[in-house]
Amino acid sequence: MSEGQFYKEPEFETLQLHAGQVPDPTTNARAVPIYASSSFVFNDSQHGGDLFGLRALGNIYSRVGNPTQDVFEKRMAALEGGVAAVAASSGQSAQFMTIATIASAGDNIVST
């Protein structure tokens, strides 16, 4: 940035619309595309193994994650001031992920 210019953190309203996504470099589209794909290809067997082994970032299967979901999770993290977020398909699955993360074998969960 040149002298006299400054960087201003995006406001909440801007984050609601644009956090977690950059314009498409090919089309310059600003909106997040909806990827109607259920699966993704791998460059080679090593690439597939690295993805499934969590040694590389990328898309494996749409129910596990996809580019549209990735933008949503990044946007939610930005809006909440968090480092990351995880999207769930239902409230019950969100509850399960939470309890499974904090509980260990033999723990008791009491809820009303």
Whole-structure pTM over 0.75, yes or no?
Answer: no
- pLDDT at position 60 is 83
pLDDT of 109 higher than 60: yes
Q: Which is more confident, 6 or 52?
A: 52
pLDDT band, residue 82 (cuts 50/70/90): very high
Q: Could you tell me the CA-to-CA distances from 7 to 78, 95, 100 in Å, in that order?
A: 17, 39, 41
Alpha carbons 17 and 9: distance in angstroms, whole number: 14
Report yes or no on 39 lying in a domain: yes
pLDDT of residue 4: 58
Q: What is the DSSP string of 52-88?
A: HTTSS---SBTTT--HHHHHHHHHHHHHHT-S-----
pLDDT at 1 over 60: no
* Distance (Å, whole) CA 96 – CA 100: 6
> CATH no. for residue 35?
3.40.640.10
Predicted local confidence at residue 103, as pLDDT:
93
Q: How many domains does the chain have?
A: 1
Domain coverage including residue 90: 12-102
The b/e string for 53-66 (b: 16+ C-beta within 10 A; e otherwise) is: eeeeeebeebeebb
Domain assignment of residue 112, yes or no: no
Is pLDDT at 85 greater than 90 in this prediction?
yes
